[in-house]
Structure 1
Amino acid sequence: MHEPRIVIIGGGHVGLTLALRLQRLLRAGEARVTVIDTQPHMTYQPFLPEAAAGSLEPRHVVVPLREALRKSEVLTAQVSSIDHSSRTLTTTLGDGTVEQLQYDFLVVVPGSISKALPIPGLAERGVGFKTIGEAIYLRNHVLSRLDIAASTTDESLRRRLLTFMFVGGGYAGIEAMAELESMARYAIRDYPNIEPQDMRWVLVEAMGRIMPEVSAPMGEYTKRRLEERGIEVKLNTQAKSMEDGHVVLSDGDEFDTDTIVWTAGVKPHPMLEASDLPRDEKGRLDCTAKLQVRGTTDVFAAGDCAAVPDLTKEDPDAKCAPSAQHAVRQAKVLADNLVARLRGKQLQSYRHKYAGSVAGLGLFQGAAEVYGVKLKGFPAWLLHRVYHLAKMPTVSHKARIAGDWMLELPFKRQVVALGELHDPRSEFVKAANTRGLPSSHGQAG
């Protein structure tokens, strides 16, 4: 008897949640599950700001897919195209081998990527905030700017080093900036010649408000709290140029900086462009409320890459917002619908009224709005931690994260830059060059 193959493209939060639920629901021999992702782990993105700030050990915010998915097949590969007419995927494995993969049921949940704009200098100077690598890099980068600034007598260089710009006032940008500013403020207590007012933190947002996910009053409250800490919040402002670190803003402000963090929006994974599946005007897969890709019965999608009808809104054209809250709940409904499809049972529609949002704004500070109830300061910060701890996959990772937080209570926060992580061969190359050896010795690459 043929064992149906379920292929899941994407091992992020949605893909992992879905696969874990399928492992619990499927009977032995009922279906074979294959998860494909370019990374061998899932990154829990809501904890990236705390990993960047040093409150959490970076390894604790990622879940190895093979460890969590013992009953599934995990492939570390890149899907380059989907040909649903023949139920075939084209994948490129880690060694460069290109293979064709057949499926019976397909789940497309690759997530999204940073949406960069053609701004001069952005590609050369900007860094995103969607991966654990970017979070670790920014932590080391910010701390290294403090080290260099504390050692230089060049005032213009010092100002450049101590200026940090974030573009994008959504949750990702606000939380990343708030946590890193909190970390830097804590770190300079060990730098006698750097005062908090020597640092300049600038948030640039093209819209007229920050955090559109919450009500306007909560967005205004968050803006005030950031400004109380000396952070400049520039609304209705765009970055026109940032060549060589010289930033020109639409409000006429110009300054030099070594740190440009880009969190101004996301777009569906470009892999979707190489498929014969229907997409909407934003490039997302066009889905029904049952999370099936429209026009198919055996292809499903959820999360940032899926345009799913929002049945809680009166507008028939309303779609679910690209939030983690919707994505994870969609993953559970999708798993149930896949099992129902296998067993010839009725599929259910996805319906979830947005409950609200929680945001961390640095140590002991936060903003939250849940079911219309507004929380500020320490209660919101605590709710942010409790909520995301509950949503973190696997018991072992919950325990490790809770342990990191408890260690913060009696001990000082660890603030040290480990820049060698980003270029571990630099000293070897330097030594090889002084001896006249080739700097790109093949085996070391």
Structure 2
Amino acid sequence: MGGYRQMVTSVVIVGSGFTGFECARRLARLLRKDDVEVTIISPVDYMLYTPLLPDVAGGVVDARFVAIPLAGSLKRVRAIRGRVDHVDLQAHRLQYTDLEQRTRELSWDRLVLTPGSVTRLFDIPGLAQYARGLKSTAEALYLRDHVLQQLELSCLEDDAELAQARRTIVVVGASYSGTELVLQLRALANAAAKQMNFDPAAVKFLLLDVAEQVMPEVGEKLGNRAQRVLRRRGIDVRLGMTLNEVHPDHVVLSDDSRVAAHTVAWVTGVTAAPLIETLNLPTENGRLTVQTDLSVPGHPDVFAAGDAAAVPDVTRPGMITPPTAQHATRQGKTLAKNVAASLGRGKKRDYKHHDMGLVVDLGPHQAVANPLKIPLSGFPAKCVTRGYHLYAIPRGVNRWAVALAYLTDALFARSVVSLGLSTQSDAQFSSSEGIPLPQAG
């Protein structure tokens, strides 16, 4: 058995996000012979469909429905749950920490680095302690429960100022993720207020961004439409603004004004996973430098793509592809073909993809989208947005569940209940970077 194992070519994929998942799935189809073993190693045992995390935070979609399990979804792929801590590029070995905090080793003949990204933080006092992001189901569930708990507590307060602070929610980041989040939380708060018998307008939302436009990714025309939706929903949009300090019961804005608030969501962008810094390889804007065929310069047996890699955009010379799910999925397909080609199965090709546009869900009955550069808003954009997500989720039962969730949301009031599924420590920014410590007992 030992001799047989030594003859098997090992392909190891680090990370189970859009890129790693799609690469593993395609490789399993391309490398059907028994002489190649494909392994995917990740801190979690699923691929997370992150575009729907605002829907999870808003109570539209169950967290299980946005998680695609690796077991069963990836045929002929060995899945290992662990956090990769060190890669020895010369010895073709890596070290990882398993669920019980044990250090283990794994050898590889081809290495695919797709560890993804983490929330980009800044040196703002109190930010890491009191704000929460939106990169994991734990963070989405915590935000949902925290908002509902604060609204419940506000109904018991005798102090009007304290009650208002509990009913004030600050979201930092007016890109499409932050904009979707604030509008889903608005819809959740409206449903909660009606069921708790107070005026929904008493819940105040503040959306901040240092940029001068809401969602610059979709262009000025659609960005302005999105901003009009935000203002109609009662969102206080302040552009050219960010945080100076975060405290348990208030924030200090960059204009030195003070806002009493008990809920702060930080959705300002991402940076490459910490593993990239340990490789001692060239980077660009913190992302690993790769060639147009997604191989790492000087290491023909190593490939990288997704949010952690600076993939050249051949359609825009001198630029790198943005960290979007659209690019990540398509890069996964190219990765699979090029890794297979490096093993003598097919020919390599450069990654080339023209942007197909964006879809942004703006809460009940509203969305903006620019599929194939055609600007849409309102109900047509809503249909395109939800249709795209149902198409893009890579598992039939998850599509079915999300479709039923959409239908339920259209026909019934949102369920207002705090289940306590995610603790404050679960939702810390650092928790989404690896495996949490095992629980005692």
| Both proteins in one fold, TM over 0.5 | yes
Per mean C-alpha deviation after superposition, the further-off stretch among 341-350 and 45-54 is 341-350
Give 1:269's aligned residue. 273
- Provide the rounded CA distance (Å) in 2 between the counterparts of 1:108 and 1:395: 27
- Residue 311 of structure 1 aligns with an amino acid whose one-letter code is V
Q: What pairs up with 1:1-80 in 2 under 5 angstroms?
A: 2-80=7-85
Aligned to 2:433: none
**Within 2, Cα distance between the matches of 1:331 and 1:345?**
16
In the TM superposition, what is the alpha-carbon distance from 1:346 to its structure 2 partner?
2.5
Judged with a 3 Å threshold, the aligned counterparts in structure 2 of structure 1 residues 345 and 42 are, in CA distance, closer, same or farther, namely closer
Partner deviation per Cα, 1:54-102 (whole Å, 9 max, x = no partner)? 2112111101212312411111111101111111101111122212211
**Hey, what does 1:371 align to over in structure 2?**
372
Which residue number in structure 2 is paired with residue 289 of structure 1? 292
Distance in 1 (CA, whole Å) between partners of 2:78 and 2:92 is: 18
**1:94-128 CA distance string (max 9 Å, x none):** 12221221100000001000111111111221101
Deviation at 1:260, TM superposition (A): 0.5
Deviations 1:177-219 (A, max 9, x none): 1111111112211122x21221110011011112121111211
Tell me the matched-pair count.
424
Select between 257-266 and 95-104 the one with higher mean Cα deviation: 95-104
- Cα drift, residue 409 of structure 1: 4.0
Counterpart position of 2:187: 182
Q: Distance in 1 between matches of 2:249 and 2:158?
A: 20
* Structure 1 range deviating more: 61-70 or 166-175: 61-70
Alignment match, 1:129: 134
**Do structure 1's residue 158 and structure 2's residue 163 form an aligned pair?**
yes
Q: How many Å separate the matches in 2 of 1:279 and 1:11?
A: 23
After superposition, where does 1:285-324 map in structure 2 within 5 Å? 285-313=288-316, 315=317, 317-324=318-325
- In structure 2, the CA distance between the partners of 1:253 and 1:227, relative to structure 1 (3 Å rule), is farther
| One-letter code aligned to 2:23 | L
Q: Distance in 2 between matches of 1:11 and 1:420?
A: 23
Matched, 1:222 2:226: yes
* Counterpart selection for 1:235 from 235, 239, 242: 239
1:355-434, aligned counterparts within 5 Å? 355-419=356-420, 422=423
After TM superposition, give the deviation of residue 43 of structure 1 in Å.
1.2
After the TM superposition, which of the residue ranges 393-402 and 224-233 deviates more from structure 2? 393-402
Residue number among 164, 169, 174 corresponding to 1:169 in the alignment? 174
Counterpart Cα distance in 2 of 1:159 and 1:220: 29
Structure 1 contact 41–63 (Cα < 8 Å) conserved: yes
Match of 1:212 in 2: 216
Cα RMSD over matched residues?
1.8
CA distance in 2, matches of 1:167, 1:13: 25
CA contact (8 A) 2:86 2:94 kept: yes
Kindly report which structure 2 residues correspond to 1:343-358, keeping only aligned pairs within 5 A, or say none. 343=344, 345-358=346-359
- Report the alpha carbon displacement of residue 261 of structure 1 after superposing the two structures with TM: 0.4
**What is the match of residue 202 of structure 2?**
198
Higher relative contact order (CA 8 A, sep 6+): 2
| Structure 1 counterpart of 2:87 | 82
Deviations 1:265-322 (A, max 9, x none): 211001111124x232322111111111122211111111011111111x3x211111
The answer to whether the 8 Å contact 2:27/2:336 transfers is: yes
TM score, norm. by length of structure 2: 0.92
The equivalent residue for 1:105 is: 110
Does the Cα contact within 8 Å between 1:17 and 1:393 map onto a contact in 2? no
Look up the SS of the partner of 1:309 in the other structure. coil
- Classify the secondary structure of the residue corresponding to 2:271: strand
Q: Give the residue type in structure 2 aligned to 1:300.
A: F
Aligned to 1:402, the other structure's residue is in SS state helix
Contact 1:125 1:245 in 2 (8 A): no
User: TM-score with structure 1 length normalisation?
Assistant: 0.91
**Does the C-alpha gap of structure 1 residues 15 and 267 become closer, same or farther in structure 2, counting only changes over 3 Å?**
same
State the match for 1:244 in structure 2.
Answer: 248
1:77/1:206 CA distance change after superposition, 3 Å: same
Separation (CA, whole Å) in 1 of partners of 2:165 and 2:95? 46
Partner amino acid for 2:299? T
CA contact under 8 A between 2:139 and 2:422: conserved in structure 1? no
Aligned to 1:433: none
Letter of the 1:329 partner, please give it. R
Counterpart of 1:76 in structure 2: which amino acid? R
State the secondary structure of the residue aligned to 2:217.
Answer: coil
Q: How much identity, in percent, do the aligned residues show?
A: 36
